[in-house]
Amino acid sequence: MTSAPVSRTRHRLRVRTERATDAGLLGRLPAPTGALAWVRDGSGLVGWGEAARFEVSGPDRFAAADRWWREFTATLEVEDGLGVPGSGPVAFVSLAFADRPGRSVLVVPEVVAGVRNGQAWLTTVGDGRSTEVRPVRRPRTVRYSDGELSVPAYREAVRAAVARMRAGGPAKVVLAHDLLAVADEPIDHRFVLEGLARRYPECWVYAVDGLIGATPELLLRRSGRVVDSRVLAGTTWPHDGVPDDDLAAALLSSAKDREEHEYAVASLTGALRPFCASLSVEGPSVLRLPNVSHLSSDVIGTLTGTPSLLALGAALHPTAAVGGTPRADALAVIEELEGMDRGRYAGPVGWIDANGDGELGVALRCAQVEGATARLFAGCGLVAESDPDSEVREAHAKLRPFREALEGM
């Protein structure tokens, strides 16, 4: 199902980008909800207000979103003195993980603040109405309860998936579970975003239509003809008293983790190569975060043509980092054994501009926030050698960033 574009104005919208001083990004978000963000270590984009929105669901969601964005941007009157990726018209994007169910969203803010390579700008769409600035609030209490898939049910699903793989099923399957958090009052998106950004400067901190998180994984960035991606798969986490260097060395030499990683890199490069004149992979190395460490590979390519970022995303998603290998078999096992609606968790999240450039991360380490409730997600890649108890602990470690940000730890 494709919904009609919703635009709040009938006449030609005017978009204007001007240079600005770098006054920070997340700290400028004026309101507790409706935050739009894609920020890594002080650079990126934040937006607020809503000039237009497009919602879509189904297997055609990437193409429908791409089409809507082209048609929408063609109607705009743009004045952009900067001409860098992210200046001019921008839409924040968050696409559903699965073909069904799931709702994908594009939001065009009324105001965008951007910082790139030390250069700052402000973009206004329409009259860019000023919004009343409200103080950031922290929750006083947070209570947790089971989501659609409890921890015991998740352990059982992992056990069943591993049995399938040992019996000749898919080589890799990624299974996730959820956790509900309820605060004593509506959650202030900015409080969570700032907590995530403070603890995870290596991650892309994002917010689109209530999906809030800090992801270390980049599905794809397009800047003109250059594309790059950061593929993660294979994880360890702090174990009692084991020095970090020893954990990293064990991860690098773990055959199980390298196998998981190899599937993820192969799925990304296999889907991207047909679009590229050149493509190279660097890795794996170990990416260390406060809660977990991952095997990480950086992929960089040069495009032969000019497919938009959304068109490329359609070919890449879901990689074996969040789906599995072979893709269709793994998705069937996920649907059967996980059985929950992932919503936009593990889908592409980020932003696009009018030239088809932008950044799409993999929506990990996140929650869907609605009022006082947050639905947190975490998953793990499984291969035939995976151990259910260990995967439950890994998922627990991956839930930590959002929990700690929400609790203000």
Ligand X SMILES: C=C(O[C@@H]1C=C(C(=O)O)C=C[C@H]1O)C(=O)O
Contact 131, 49 (CB under 8 A): yes
Q: Is 349 in the site for ligand X (CB under 6 A)?
A: no
Q: Is 61 in the site for ligand X (CB under 6 A)?
A: no
Q: State which amino acid sits at residue 385.
A: E
Write down the least CB distance from residue 365 to ligand X, Å. Answer: 6
Name the segment binding ligand X (CB under 6 A); options: 85-93, 105-113, 140-148, 230-238: 230-238
Name the segment binding ligand X (CB under 6 A); options: 85-93, 132-140, 146-154, 228-236: 228-236
Q: Is 197 in the site for ligand X (CB under 6 A)?
A: no
Taking each helix axis as running N to C, give the angle between helix 309-316 and helix 61-74, from 0 to 180 degrees, rounded to the nearest 10: 180
Q: Which is nearer to ligand X, 66 or 177 (CB)?
A: 177
Phi, psi of 365 (to 5 degrees): 50, 55
Q: Which is nearer to ligand X, 68 or 345 (CB)?
A: 345
Contact 193, 348 (CB under 8 A): no
144/181 Cα distance (integer angstroms): 4
Write down the least CB distance from residue 359 to ligand X, Å. Answer: 17
Q: Which is nearer to ligand X, 188 or 217 (CB)?
A: 217
Q: Is 374 in the site for ligand X (CB under 6 A)?
A: no
> Residues 127-166 vs ligand X: string with x where CB under 6 A?
----------------------------------------
Beta sheet of 276-288, edge-to-edge order: 6-7, 52-56, 104-108, 90-94, 348-353, 358-362, 218-223, 226-236, 293-303, 276-288
Q: Is 294 in the site for ligand X (CB under 6 A)?
A: yes
Nearest alpha carbon to residue 68 among 358, 303, 275, 310: 310
Contact pick of 398, 401, 402, 406 for ligand X (by CB under 6 A): 398
Q: Is 322 in the site for ligand X (CB under 6 A)?
A: yes
> What is the token pair recorded at 365?
């380490």
SS3 string, 135-170, reads CCCCCCCEEEEECCCCHHHHHHHHHHHHHHHHCCCC
Q: Which is nearer to ligand X, 193 or 322 (CB)?
A: 322
Q: Which is nearer to ligand X, 90 or 232 (CB)?
A: 232
Interaction with ligand X in 235-254: which residues (CB under 6 A)? 235
Residue 106's beta-bridge partner residues? Answer: 54, 93
Interaction with ligand X in 376-395: which residues (CB under 6 A)? 378-381
Q: Is 232 in the site for ligand X (CB under 6 A)?
A: yes
Q: Is 172 in the site for ligand X (CB under 6 A)?
A: no
Site size toward ligand X, by CB under 6 A: 18
Name the segment binding ligand X (CB under 6 A); options: 38-46, 111-119, 148-156, 375-383: 375-383
| Token pair 């702090």 in the structure block, residue | 238
Residue 212's beta-bridge partner residues? Answer: 207, 367
Q: Is 203 in the site for ligand X (CB under 6 A)?
A: no
Q: Is 220 in the site for ligand X (CB under 6 A)?
A: no
* Structural element, H or E, at residue 113: strand 111-116
Within a 10 A sphere around the Cβ of 185, how many other Cβ atoms? Answer: 13
DSSP 2: B
Q: Which is nearer to ligand X, 72 or 263 (CB)?
A: 263
Contact 167, 119 (CB under 8 A): no
Q: Is 321 in the site for ligand X (CB under 6 A)?
A: yes
Burial class (CB in 10 A: 0-12, 13-18, 19+), 5: middle
Q: Is 207 in the site for ligand X (CB under 6 A)?
A: no
Residue with CB nearest ligand X?
A: 381
SS3 319: coil
Q: Is 360 in the site for ligand X (CB under 6 A)?
A: no
Q: Which is nearer to ligand X, 29 or 179 (CB)?
A: 179
Q: Which is nearer to ligand X, 94 or 235 (CB)?
A: 235
- Would you please indicate which residues are annotated as catalytic (active-site) residues? 172, 217
Q: Which residues bind ligand X (CB under 6 A)?
A: 174, 176, 217, 232-235, 260, 294, 321-322, 364-365, 378-381, 398
